[in-house]
Chain A
Amino acid sequence: MAQDDVDIRQIEAFLFHEARLLDDRQFEAWLDLFTDTGWYWVPVQPDQDNPYDTISLIYDDRRLLETRVRRLRNPRIHAQMPPSRTSHLIGNVTIEDDSPDDADLLVGSNFQMLEYRRDKQQVFGGSCRHGLIRTEDGFKIQWKRVNLANSDGMLDGISAIF
């Protein structure tokens, strides 16, 4: 896809919509943003090439992503009882030049996510890459990669979605 026929405001609106769905705990609607073969990836290494020869904080193919979202609704999810409140802040949105093989459009952004749960507030931050597909119904996420600033550091359990 030629980059110059894409309106950056449209891309921003899509990312803000995604963030809103997560903050509003509309996880099923968030899942619907992904394609049927889409994946969500939070690597451990900042420069990690792939999720196959190195561990990941999260690497969900479509099947596992569905399971993750279903679990978030389970009343016995101890790690989310009570659930986290999150606030995603998205910025520095760019349409990247290098076009990925498996998506129409590569979008870069930075994020900060504030998470509050049980008297504890944490701040996560880093950059995101979205591989987007253009469909008749608008953009779909083929993949989302989250480069957490402290991805290889000591972390408590992560149950919220970045």
Chain B
Amino acid sequence: MRGNETDDLSALIRDDRVHRRLYTDPELFELELDRIFGHAWIYIGHQSQVKNPGDFYTTRIGRQPVLMVRHDDGEIYVLNNRCAHRGAMIATAESGNVSEFRCAYHGWTYGTDGKLSAVPIAQGYPGNLDFNDPGNSLLPVARTDNYRGFVFANLSSEGPGLREFLGFMTTSFDDMIDRAPGDEIEVAGGVFKHAFDANWKVYLENLCDGVHPSNVHESSIDAARAQDDDVFSDGAGEIAVRQMRQNGVGYNFFRDSVGLWTVPNGHSYMGDYHDDEKLVAALDDPSFADYIDALKADKGEARAREILSVARWNTNVWPTVSFMSQFRQLRVVHPVSVNRTEVHTFSFRMPQAPERLFADTIRFANVTNGTGSLVLTDDLETYGRIGEGLQCEGPEWIHMGRELGIDTAVDNNARETNGTSELHIRNMFDAWMSYMSTGA
């Protein structure tokens, strides 16, 4: 950036439009890594991914490799995944269990709290090599916290705490957890990893976009509508076809029957879109009835009904995570470069619910997040076209003004509007501007 950075940045965002450079400029991308990924709370993983001492899971904050690991004392650490000695990456597996971390290069060895425990020829270093010096450790990131088992990290020691950052969006995590008998959920069933050639911001922008399905997903909507329901299905096709048809509900449905809510720090969620009748394979499905019974037994009839009446679709927790509590799907966005993005998607199992319910979660994951799904492939293609199209230098501006000015302030510091609005995008750029101009 040149000149007065903040002035330059604010000139790139208007009430209803954003400059194309926010999606194409490598310098701005680098600044985002520093100011957003270096200062906002970034989702790392769920505690169930590191159930036992020594369990670790590797991921990234922006481009920086980190690992989440459970120490002997039960505490979860988020550590920089890099040897203090010569800088080699320590853990290369996606996940695993270790008693210690030992560098492949010269054998520097660390405990699962990141503390240096052994160094070959330690006496060869000038003075005494201080094993307690953080500079000689797998350095923990500045801050680690979790909300009911969802682990976040922050590379900066300054700024709001996690709960303050999440604000009202903690209630979406509550929704996911409350739906589980015994409040127990765990990551299970494998991870989809898909990539596209466009800027990282387009992904979350799309996830509360109620106008895209009728266009992007037209081919799968048409194909599903024409499908004969008497043809054999073991459940996979039944849920997939139902979901694809639901994508075709049309603009009026999103305008009249779907709500969109935003809260500070870029977060948003879409609600009232799917109720259980529309999506669960069948309400008379015995496994779903068993699940409701298990929930009632755990929480009482009234509370169970209250929990099930919450109908939130995608919740976007800016800047990189989006989840669906009803179907226990969670997607994590990883920026690679200004025009390349990777996404990991996870499913959650409820161990105290009937096992067959998880099969429905898997079926739903395959149709909505599957790398070879009839739905997601058209999303990925569209992201790629954005990446290509925005190489045009004109027009300079991109629209985000749909339903501008009609949203209203409601409780919980939230704003409310209808499901065809681009309010969630404008809200993300409010957070973007705030982090990019102050770095916190």
Give me the interface of A with B, judged by CB distance under 8 Å: 36-37, 39, 42, 44-45, 51-68, 70-71, 74-79, 152-159
Contacts and interface: CB of A to CB of B under 8 A. Distances in A.
Contact of B237 (A61, A71, A155): A61
Interface residues of B, number: 51
Contacts of B195: 154-156
A157 B377 contact: yes
Interface in B380-419: 380-382, 385
A67 B366 contact: no
12 contacts: A37-B232, A45-B190, A55-B347, A55-B365, A58-B366, A58-B370, A61-B234, A62-B237, A70-B222, A71-B374, A78-B219, A158-B377
B233 A55 contact: no
The 5 closest A-B pairs by CB, nearest first: A63-B237, A64-B237, A71-B223, A74-B219, A157-B377
Contacts of A70: 222-223, 226-227
Given A53-B359, A154-B342, 4 more contacts: A54-B189, A61-B236, A65-B237, A67-B240
Nearest to A71: B223
Interface in B357-381: 358-359, 362, 365-366, 369-374, 376-378, 380-381
Contacts of A68: 223, 374
Interface in B201-258: 216, 218-220, 222-224, 226-229, 231-238, 240-241, 244
Contact of B362 (A36, A53, A157, A159): A53
Nearest to A156: B195
A78 B219 CA distance: 8
A89 B331 CA distance: 35
B85 interface: no
B222 A59 contact: no
Nearest to B349: A53
B241 A63 contact: yes
Interface centre among A62, A65, A70 (most CB of B within 10 A): A70
B219 A76 contact: yes
Nearest to B370: A57
A42 to B, nearest CB: 6
B303 interface: no
Interface string B60-94: 00000000000000000000000000000000000
A5 to B, nearest CB: 30
B223 A156 contact: no
Given A54-B190, A55-B362, A79-B378, A60 B219 contact: no
A67 B223 contact: yes
A61 B233 contact: yes
A118 to B, nearest CB: 9
Interface centre among B226, B366, B369 (most CB of A within 10 A): B366
Nearest to B235: A61
A143 to B, nearest CB: 11
A63 B232 CA distance: 6
A156 B371 CA distance: 7
A55 B362 CA distance: 6
B381 to A, nearest CB: 4
Contacts of A61: 232-237
B359 A52 contact: yes
A57 B194 CA distance: 10
Contacts of A153: 193
B222 A62 contact: no
B192 interface: yes
Contacts of A63: 227-229, 231-233, 236-238, 241
Contacts of A53: 188-189, 358-359, 362
